[in-house]
Amino acid sequence: MSDSSVSKLQLKGGMVGMGMIFDETYRPFFENAYQHGFYDSKTGVIQLEIAAVASRTGGRAAKYKEAAGQDINDFASYIEPDSIGQLLAHDVDFVCVATPDDRHFEATMAAIRAGKHVIVEKPSVLSMQELDELAAAANEEHVLCKVVYHKLFDPDHKKLRTLVHDGVLNHINTGYCTLLEPKQISGAQFAEWIQGRNPGTYVAVHYIKLIDFTFGGRLKSVSCSGQRGIVGEAQGNTWDSTQLRLVYEYESGREAAFDIHTSWVTPDNFPGYVEQEVQFRFDNGIWNGHSRKRGVECTVEEKTPISLKNSMNNHYNGTFVEPDGRRTQRGYGIEVLEEFAREVAYVEHGLDDKTREQRITELSGSYYNDISSDRQTVAAVHAMEAILEQHAAGNPDCIVRVNEDAGGLVLYIPGQSAGIVLYDGQV
Ligand SMILES: NC(=O)c1ccc[n+]([C@@H]2O[C@H](COP(=O)([O-])OP(=O)(O)OC[C@H]3O[C@@H](n4cnc5c(N)ncnc54)[C@H](O)[C@@H]3O)[C@@H](O)[C@H]2O)c1
């Protein structure tokens, strides 16, 4: 850690979940911030430490501590039972939640109730009821509750949104997106918690958010099909792949439909880490994007495509030797976390004349990464989960309609006229 006469404000972070995404984005975020601090004109220089971590067994935390050595400060590691409760007794300003998605709610709620700012991995939660509870609790406790969607920071997606925002691309009609994960994700990485889960909630949510954020509009209906038989039983409730369809309506009264295809059973010798492609069609244009094929294709004997991939996304998260010789790890997957730390620093130590509450209000509500901005995204996830559950129970081809008189999310089973209300508030 460098010393300097510049006055620095101190932040302490807590980490819940020490798995793959910790290693990919949180680790470089904490290490960069610990070693170099970072700057925001609204606060000055921010020095940051990881104060404590919580995980099930502590195995990966111990390995990380040993491997990182001087790259990170010493930190406490808590394990189950009640790893989160122990972490929250620690002196931390904010908590990052990166547990499996069906365990986000408990950890996030506990952190909020302990008066800590929180950032939670996507999807924030799996139901609208949980989302309402978190938003209300964050409001009561006067803390930030934010969700990580790094795809909004991808320069290509920022350009897409800019062209839409500026009226260069007019009225979205239809779109398709695909994100395919390798088999090692479903077979090894997530083996402990994959039972009953699906790749749609895990990865389609990236594109649900991108579509919702970029094009706005009102979500009208959700439908979803899926396939089983590789990760779990052919008739079971664990899914290999899913095809989600969202229909939106815009102020003009016109609609658009989006298809998002995902899987976590792509062969491990696929040339890229994941396959990611989108096409969006407008009244006056078309946007084709391929996050994997951005221009680099590299082959190395005995390395590609297993230990090193042929095509790499150096924008999301890359390790580099900089021109001046420094080794760095950076990209939009890390930038999104730094932005949250800047927000926490501003709320607690902002240099302007505003009160803490005014700053929280500024960064909450309709602010892009606030939990309250996640309503239509969580609604789509909630509906998809319910549709897949019905499918596994023998009722395929259900549809969920949004904001009907009977409720905000109403599920219809083919052949049955009465709907099942999944959420009685309005989305
Ligand atoms: N932003 C992205 O692109 C991205 C990529 C991968 C994963 N994720 C998200 O990150 C989250 C975690 O995914 P991962 O790939 O790191 O999973 P993982 O299975 O590799 O790790 C999960 C971690 O959570 C811990 N954990 C599980 N239950 C816990 C509990 N009750 N209390 C405390 N700790 C607990 C485990 O010990 C483990 O350290 C998921 O929500 C996932 O959707 C996001």
pLDDT in tens, 278-333: 999 999 999 999 988 887 899 999 999 999 999 988 999 999 999 999 999 999 99
- Considering only CA atoms, which residue is closest to atom 6 of ligand 1? 21
Q: What is the pLDDT of residue 6?
A: 61
83 lines ligand 1 (CB under 6 A): yes
19 lines ligand 1 (CB under 6 A): yes
Whether 304 maps to a domain, the answer reads yes
pTM: 0.95
- Residue 1 reports pLDDT greater than 80: no
Span 165-204, pLDDT tens digits:
999 999 999 999 999 999 999 988 888 889 999 999 999 9
In SS3 terms, the chain reads as CCCCCCCEEEEEEEEECCCHHHHHHHHHHHHHHHHHCEEECCCEEEEEEEEEEEECCCHHHHHHHHHHHHHCCCCEEEECCCHHHHHHCCCCCEEEECCCHHHHHHHHHHHHHCCCEEEECCCCCCCHHHHHHHHHHHHHHCCCEEECCHHHHCHHHHHHHHHHHCCCCCCEEEEEEEEEEEHHHHHHHCCCCCCCCCHHHHHHHHHHHHHHHHHCCEEEEEEEEEECCCCCCCCCCCCCEEEEEEEEECCCCCEEEEEEEEEEEECCCCCECCEEEEEEEECCCEEEEECCCCCCCCCCCCCCCCCCCCECCCCCCEEEECCCCCEEEECHHHHHHHHHHHHHHHHHHCCCCCCHHHHHHHHCCCCCCEHHHHHHHHHHHHHHHHHHHHHHCCCCCCEEEEEECCEEEEEECCCCCCCEEEECCCC
Question: Could you tell me if 226 and 288 lie in one domain?
Answer: yes
Cα 299 to ligand 1 centre (Å): 31
Whether 383 maps to a domain, the answer reads no
Question: Could you tell me if 198 and 282 lie in one domain?
Answer: yes
* Weakest mean pLDDT among 3-12, 49-58, 64-73, 207-216: 3-12
**For residue 187, what are the domain limits?**
155-312
Q: What is the pLDDT of residue 2?
A: 47
Cα 192 to ligand 1 centre (Å): 11
Question: Could you tell me if 161 and 299 lie in one domain?
Answer: yes
Cα 4 to ligand 1 centre (Å): 36
With pLDDT > 90 as the criterion, what percentage of the chain qualifies?
94
Q: What is the pLDDT of residue 91?
A: 93
- Residue 122 reports pLDDT greater than 90: yes
Cα 351 to ligand 1 centre (Å): 35
Question: Could you tell me if 139 and 179 lie in one domain?
Answer: no
Question: Could you tell me if 211 and 268 lie in one domain?
Answer: yes
Question: Could you tell me if 25 and 62 lie in one domain?
Answer: yes
Question: Could you tell me if 161 and 141 lie in one domain?
Answer: no
Whether 286 maps to a domain, the answer reads yes
Cα 7 to ligand 1 centre (Å): 35
Whether 343 maps to a domain, the answer reads yes
- Residue 9 reports pLDDT greater than 50: yes
Whether 26 maps to a domain, the answer reads yes
* Weakest mean pLDDT among 63-77, 136-150, 185-199: 185-199
Tell me which of 56, 120, 276 to substitute to probe ligand 1's pocket, judged by most ligand atoms within 8 Å of the beta carbon.
56
CATH for 116 = 3.40.50.720
Question: Could you tell me if 139 and 189 lie in one domain?
Answer: no
331 lines ligand 1 (CB under 6 A): no
153 lines ligand 1 (CB under 6 A): no
Whether 82 maps to a domain, the answer reads yes
Question: Could you tell me if 173 and 197 lie in one domain?
Answer: yes
Tell me which of 15, 16, 20 to substitute to probe ligand 1's pocket, judged by most ligand atoms within 8 Å of the beta carbon.
20
- Residue 4 reports pLDDT greater than 80: no
Question: Could you tell me if 224 and 176 lie in one domain?
Answer: yes
88 lines ligand 1 (CB under 6 A): no
- Residue 409 reports pLDDT greater than 60: yes
CATH for 176 = 3.30.360.10
Considering its fold, how many domains does the chain have in total?
Answer: 2
Per-residue pLDDT, averaged over 157-166, amounts to 98
Q: What is the pLDDT of residue 279?
A: 98
Question: Could you tell me if 289 and 343 lie in one domain?
Answer: no
pLDDT band at 5 (very low <50, low <70, confident <90, very high): low
Whether 145 maps to a domain, the answer reads yes
Question: Could you tell me if 187 and 296 lie in one domain?
Answer: yes
Across the chain, what does the average pLDDT equal?
Answer: 95
- Ligand 1 atom having least distance to the Cα of 120: 41
Whether 375 maps to a domain, the answer reads no
